[in-house]
Amino acid sequence: MVEMRDISISFGGIKAVDNVTVDLYPGEVVGLLGHNGAGKSTLIKCLSGAYQKDAGEILINGERVDINNPRDARAQNIETIYQTLALADNLDAASNLFLGREIVGPSGFLDESAMEAETRKIMARLNPNFRKFNVPVSALSGGQRQSVAIARAVYFNAKILIMDEPTAALGPQETQMVAELIQELKKQGLGIFLIEHDIHNVMKLCDRAVVMKNGQRVGTVNVNEVTDDDILGMIIMGKKPAKAA
């Protein structure tokens, strides 16, 4: 689905990402791990169009593509869910879901009821317990907000989802809810890059893990072939276990 080959990007002479290669298959969750400043967010920003890489190439479904801005990324069905969710607090779930891509009726007015009906449909699939359709999203829990953001991406046909620390601000129950959402998206064949600090969540949610340190890729492992300690060793020592690619 995605191949990022030999990606490099520097800021003022400092290599934030140094010759990193990662790939992603449909229905797969690939974790991006590493200490603060390792280059995780910078790497995926080259895919989301927020940054432009200095070198390397990006292939989507085997074809070389140019991603120079978020619009280019969206055209490739790549959607990003940032930790600080870009939701409009004062609007309800439906208005957030359709923000900037509203359904307009024949008379030229916003078709509120169509947007709410579509929102109810997709939330029934993704988060069946969700009831808070008619309140501003500021009144939602962190997990519920996360599910609105995910619904927005999925509704607009995301195939490749980038999630930068989706559970960082969530309690255990909310984290569990996001975990279930991720499982559901996998079943639907989406590929997900997941930046995650909590090793427990990595082991639970990811199929493969890519560890970065100082902008470089330490290694890529199949999560079910390594232990928590193997991965922590890669993060801390920058050393890969024998079975890593």
Ligand X SMILES: Nc1ncnc2c1ncn2[C@@H]1O[C@H](COP(=O)(O)OP(=O)(O)OP(=O)(O)O)[C@@H](O)[C@H]1O
Residues that bind ligand X (CB under 6 A): 11, 16, 34, 36-42
Of 1, 4, 34, 41, which lies in the binding site for Mg ion, with binding defined by CB under 5 A?
41
Nearer to Mg ion, 34 or 98 (CB): 34
* Amino acid in position 181: L
* Residues forming beta bridges with residue 107, ordered by sequence position: none
Residue 169 DSSP code: T
Nearer to ligand X, 34 or 142 (CB): 34
State whether residue 205 is helix, strand or coil.
Answer: helix
By CB under 5 A, the count of residues binding Mg ion is 1
CB of 109 to ligand X, least distance (A): 41
Q: Out of ligand X, Mg ion, none, which partner does residue 37 contact, by CB within 5 to 8 A per kind?
A: ligand X
Binding segment for Mg ion among 39-47, 93-101, 153-161, 220-228 (CB under 5 A)?
Answer: 39-47
CB of 2 to ligand X, least distance (A): 18
Binding segment for Mg ion among 15-23, 34-42, 66-74, 166-174 (CB under 5 A)?
Answer: 34-42
Ordered alpha helix ranges (H), the chain? 40-48, 70-75, 93-97, 112-126, 142-155, 172-187, 199-205, 228-237
Q: Out of ligand X, Mg ion, none, which partner does residue 167 contact, by CB within 5 to 8 A per kind?
A: none
Residues 6+ apart with CB under 8 A from 88: 95, 96, 99, 137
* Residues forming beta bridges with residue 63, ordered by sequence position: 60
**According to CB under 5 A, which residues from 162 to 181 bind Mg ion?**
none
Nearer to Mg ion, 41 or 144 (CB): 41
Q: Out of ligand X, Mg ion, none, which partner does residue 11 contact, by CB within 5 to 8 A per kind?
A: ligand X
In the complex, residue closest to Mg ion by CB: 41
Tokens of 117: 């009906």
Place of tokens 């999630």: 163
DSSP secondary structure, 105-166, as one string: -TTSSB-HHHHHHHHHHHHHHH-TT---TTS-GGGS-HHHHHHHHHHHHHHTT-SEEEEEST
Residues at the contact surface with Mg ion, assessed by CB under 5 A: 41
